Amino acid sequence: MTSRTPKYQTIARQLGDKLRLGQLDDDVKLPSVRTLSRELRVSINTVQQAYYCLEAEGLVEARPQSGYYARSRARRQDALPNRSQPTANPQQPDVPARDSLLLRLIALQNQPDWLPFSMNVPAPSLIPIQKLNKALQQALRTMPNAGIGYDAIPGNLALRQQIARYTMFWGGNLTADELITTEGCTAALTLCLKAVTKPGDTIAVESPAYFGILQTVLSLGLQVLELPTDPLTGIDLLALDEHLKAGRVQACLFVTNFSNPLGSCMTDAGKQQLVRLLETYQVPLIEDDLYGDLHYAPHRPVPCKFYDRQGLVLWCGSFSKTLAPGYRVGWVAPGRYYDALLQLKRFQAGVSPGITQQAIAHFLANDRYELHLHRLRQTLKSNCLRYQQTIRASFPVGTRISEPQGSFSLWLELDPAIDTVSLCEDLLTQKISIMPGPLFSLQPQYANCLRLSYGMPYDQRVETGLQQIGQLVSRYSVGVR
């Protein structure tokens, strides 16, 4: 993997950031290919490739005999998935059927010769395995008794120090003593839920929401309240305020940066407003910041923890989506709930494995992590553009596609008559897996939606697989099976 970014991608990213941030007016004419080529001192072909990328992303449009124009936000919105509208009183799904399908998809994800678009992790080729192996060997050499002993209950000190150091990238000032390590992010979320709720309490989540979060909440005897969610900016704060005012919500669990599966990212103003709102009602926020490091803009988006003044935000994360899924290394900064969460870990989870945590700490201490993230973000951004381009070319007109600015999930909204569970079953016969939309809600919705992961590097095999999905969707659209 090379660290050198193609020039056209750099131009597309810089111009795309201006368009996404609203620094260019809607429908404004952009510099001609020839003009931009001359100003940037690059070839005409390079500029054309940059504009093709922006066009595939839906940020610009080509007008015959006129040139390229910034696509209006209204027209861009028309191409995005619709804003979700869950009901306040959901119908419970057929849990055994959901679990059966999930287990089948999970079991197939690592099978040879399969295209696992359902697998929401980076491909092994994007992970610095050799460098991680060296860090693991270093951990074996430096830990007492090669790491076979128990570590501290809060977790490996070296790792907690490194995580605290890395919070400077979003303006945080956490210390190692404010952090507790866990076996991945789901373990952190589970401990947080146990620390701030009791059975029967209601937890507010995004809609659609990651099925793992829904399963975890239900397994603890808690109720789920799905909130209306915008595909770009996240949850509807006005709707949340109404539920808080009525006393319906005892805790919130949100993925504020690049939610799974929508890819939405709350604005800084929205995050600050959310924290102040929860302070008013003294309701805790469990913040799943699993994807925050996988941003495509120049700077990492801040988590809600940045605005936390009263310790109400329990900030969770892990290295499962960025570095080493199998190492199961996560963490939580639980704020005012530190003592309660530490007790829960002591009695229910015990001591975390020290050797993998020490290895990650070594990797972070040598600044390898930021270099790795830089390369990974470049690849994922390129993947996103190319996947979107192929989907727009291969799927029926009217297919709505999310525009994530980080992570590696695309959320597709198809013709309302299409059942993506049936689509999933048919694709399995072609050794292709997707995640059907109904898995991301406890309500009877998203039957015509699906999640595709673009964690696999784009190549001919991926392109062919996307085209096969598009062909099958097209057959479904005209009623042919």
What digits encode the pLDDT tens for the residues 456-481? 999 999 999 999 999 999 998 776 44
Q: Inform me whether the pLDDT recorded for 208 exceeds 80.
A: yes
Q: Give me the pLDDT at residue 104, please.
A: 86
> Which range, of 25-34, 51-60, 171-180, averages the lowest pLDDT?
51-60
Alpha-carbon distance 408 to 300, whole Å?
A: 16
Q: pLDDT band at 93, cuts 50/70/90?
A: low
Return the CATH number of the domain spanning residue range 93-126+370-477.
3.90.1150.10
Cα maximum dimension of the chain: 72
Q: Flag the least confident range among 103-107, 128-132, 159-163.
A: 103-107
Q: Where are the domains of the chain?
A: 7-78, 93-126+370-477, 130-368
pLDDT in tens, 357-370: 999 999 999 878 99
pLDDT, tens digit, for every residue of 144-176?
A: 877 777 888 999 999 999 999 999 989 999 999
Question: Does the pLDDT value for residue 89 go beyond 70?
Answer: no
Question: How far is residue 211's CA from residue 200's CA, in Å, rounded to a whole number?
Answer: 19
Mean pLDDT of the chain: 90
Average pLDDT over residues 312-328: 94
pLDDT for 105 equals 87
Q: Give the mean model confidence (pLDDT) for residues 91-106.
A: 75
Does position 235 have pLDDT exceeding 50, yes or no?
yes
Preceding amide of 261 cis, omega within 30: yes
Note the pLDDT of residue 144.
82
In this prediction, residue 112 carries a pLDDT of: 82
Paired residues of 223 in beta bridges: 202
CA dihedral sign, ordered 466, 475, 450, 425: negative
The pLDDT of 107-132, averaged and rounded, is 89
139, 131, 163, 134: which is closest to 354 by C-alpha?
Answer: 139
Nearest to 159, CA basis, from 324, 365, 303, 396: 365
Over residues 95-114, the mean pLDDT reads: 81
Instruction: Decide: 441 and 108 in contact? Cβ < 8 Å.
Output: no
The yes or no reply on domain 130-368 and CATH 3.40.640.10 is yes
Q: What's the pTM?
A: 0.85
* Rg (alpha carbons) of the chain, rounded to whole number: 23
230 pLDDT above the threshold of 70? yes
Quote the tokens at residue 22: 């609203």
pLDDT of 263 above 80 = yes
More confident residue, 141 or 145: 141
Query: In the predicted model, is pLDDT for residue 95 greater than 90?
Result: no
- In this prediction, residues 126-151 reach a mean pLDDT of 87
Look at residue 42 and tell me whether its pLDDT is greater than 50: yes
Find the mean pLDDT for residues 323-344: 95
Asked if the domains 93-126+370-477 and 130-368 are classified in one and the same CATH topology, the answer is: no
Rounded-to-integer distance, Cα 337 and Cα 132, Å:
33
| Cα(9)–Cα(299) distance, integer angstroms | 17
> What is the average per-residue pLDDT within 41-55?
86
Evaluate if residue 4 carries a pLDDT over 70: no
Alpha carbon distance 311, 337 (integer Å): 8
Name which of 132-141, 230-239, 421-430 the model is least confident about: 132-141
Instruction: State how far the Cα of 416 lies from the Cα of 238, in Å rounded to an integer.
Output: 28
pLDDT value of position 340: 97
CA distance 59 to 50: 11
What pLDDT sits at residue 54?
Answer: 82
Q: Point out which residues pair with 282 in neighbouring strands.
A: none
Which percentage of the chain shows pLDDT scores above 70? 94
- % residues pLDDT > 90 (the chain): 68
pLDDT at residue 481, rounded to an integer: 46
| CATH code reported for the domain at 7-78 | 1.10.10.10
407 CB-near residues (< 8 Å, 6+ apart): 258, 260, 263, 291, 294, 321, 380
Cβ neighbours of residue 459 closer than 8 Å, sequence gap 6 or more? none
CA distance 447 to 439: 9
* pLDDT value, residue 9: 79
Residue 94: predicted pLDDT: 65
Q: Would you say 283 and 251 are in contact if contact means Cβ atoms under 8 Å apart?
A: yes
Asked if 182 and 349 count as a contact pair (C-beta separation under 8 A), the reply is: yes
Q: In the structure, what pLDDT confidence band is assigned to residue 275 with cuts at 50, 70 and 90? A: very high
With a cut of 80, say whether residue 385 has pLDDT above it: yes
Which of 88-97, 268-277, 417-426 bottoms out in mean pLDDT, i.e. has the lowest? 88-97
Average pLDDT over residues 198-219: 95
Helices 460-477, 368-394: inter-axial angle, 10-degree rounding:
40
pLDDT of amino acid 214: 95
